[in-house]
Amino acid sequence: MGVLKDCIENKDFTSIPVWFMRQAGRYLPEFREIRKRNNNFIDLCLNPIVSKEITLQPLKRFSVDAAIIFSDILLIPHALGQSVEFKRGFGPQLGELEINKVLEIPDSDILNKLNPVYDLIKITSKDEILKGKDLIGFVGGTWTLLVYMLNRQSPKKLNDNIFLYSNKKQLIQKIINTQKLHIKKQVDSGASVIQIFDSWAGLLNNDKLEEFIYQPTLEILEYTRKLGVQTICFPRGIENYKQYCDIIKPNAINIDYEVDPKTISENIEIPIQGGMDPKCLLLDKNEMLNKAKEYLEIFKNHKYIFNLGHGVMPETEPENLKILVDFIKDYR
Ligand code: CP3
């Protein structure tokens, strides 16, 4: 396994691992080329041969230290029997949620649907190009998955109906059980690190964090600890990252670009990942590198994994990513 895992495990202080959320995606012409021929995004995620190719595309261009599997957090609702479609220019659209059917769906049916993801991990983790590097598997956070399943599209703001749903507790437990199953299979298949994307954590008021974020995430982290896999959490937009870390105790924490990195570096001791605004990759080269330097300086006495505060934007010039990665590799 690679320097990312070593950094999180505290073994290696000397290098700064680097990878990017959404490093495989629409900013890459070679991804767009494949996407043109594959209209159905879920089918594309469930095609191990092609999704392996996409997973490795960024590694052919940049000296990143990890690949993240080409997949999507919404494969869990898909596996639970809720339809998921990606409409161009709109994002995901989920079908009617038949909650009683979801609650009864057996693990074997879920795994049948998700098996291609495990095949993808098996064939990708053995590829030469990943020698000494990590392969990151992932799931959405329980709260974020609940939001998508009930809201059926990306939320602009929180619809309070979500809290009124009957069977909510059983649905949350079903999501947690499926997340655990999905994590275990990814690890068994060769994922060396797991990231949990709780992309809508920032929508919740503080009085709801306990029920919708802390309790479910604690259960999952207790599970990943038993599996022995390093887990990075990304509760995007959460107000109090320190409190989150004190309660959840993830192995590493990804921060978003709205929090002050200096305060984070002073208050949080575990390895920190990310933070820089993805829009910085749209700036000119020097401005971009100055911003990167700011993060590297602030975290110079900290275990730090270079990444962004959200995914790479589709408008990004791939050449800028190359310049950035090379800069970070030369930094120490
Ligand atoms: O390179 C990687 O990071 C790995 C692949 C990956 C994708 N989605 C591929 C993808 C990962 C880690 C995700 C996670 C994901 N998916 C999240 C959490 C991170 C975040 O962005 O907050 C969320 C909320 C989703 C759900 C999702 N998938 C949305 C809202 C969208 C549409 C908006 C968008 O950014 O395009 C997707 C589609 C999606 N997932 C694309 C890719 C490459 C674009 C698909 C396309 O139209 O070609």
Q: Read out DSSP for 272-285?
A: EEE-B-GGGGGS-H
Which residues, judged by CB distance below 6 Å to any ligand atom, belong to the binding site of ligand 1?
21-26, 35, 41, 68, 70-74, 86, 91-92, 138, 154, 197, 199, 311
Whether pTM exceeds 0.75:
yes
CB-neighbour burial class of residue 279 (10 A; exposed 0-12, middle 13-18, buried 19+): middle
pLDDT (tens digit, 9 = 90+) per residue, 199-232?
Answer: 999 999 999 999 999 999 999 999 999 999 999 9
pLDDT band at 13 (very low <50, low <70, confident <90, very high): low
268 alpha carbon – ligand 1 mean position (Å): 28
Decide: helix, strand or coil at residue 120.
helix
Residue to mutate (ligand 1; options 19, 45, 54, 72; most atoms within 8 A of CB): 72
Residue with CA at minimum distance from ligand 1 atom 21: 311
In this prediction, residue 96 carries a pLDDT of 94
Q: Read out DSSP for 315-327?
A: T--HHHHHHHHHH
> Residue 213: which of 154, 308, 143 has the closest Cα?
143
In this prediction, residue 159 carries a pLDDT of 80
Residue with CA at minimum distance from ligand 1 atom 24: 199
What mean pLDDT do residues 44-54 have?
A: 98
154 CA closest ligand 1 atom index: 30
Residue to mutate (ligand 1; options 73, 93, 120, 183; most atoms within 8 A of CB): 73
Residue with CA at minimum distance from ligand 1 atom 40: 72
Residue to mutate (ligand 1; options 18, 86, 316; most atoms within 8 A of CB): 86
The amino acid at 216: P
Q: Rounded to whole angstroms, how far apart are CA atoms 255 and 226?
A: 25
Residue with CA at minimum distance from ligand 1 atom 33: 91
Q: What percent of the chain has pLDDT over 70?
A: 99
The amino acid at 290: N
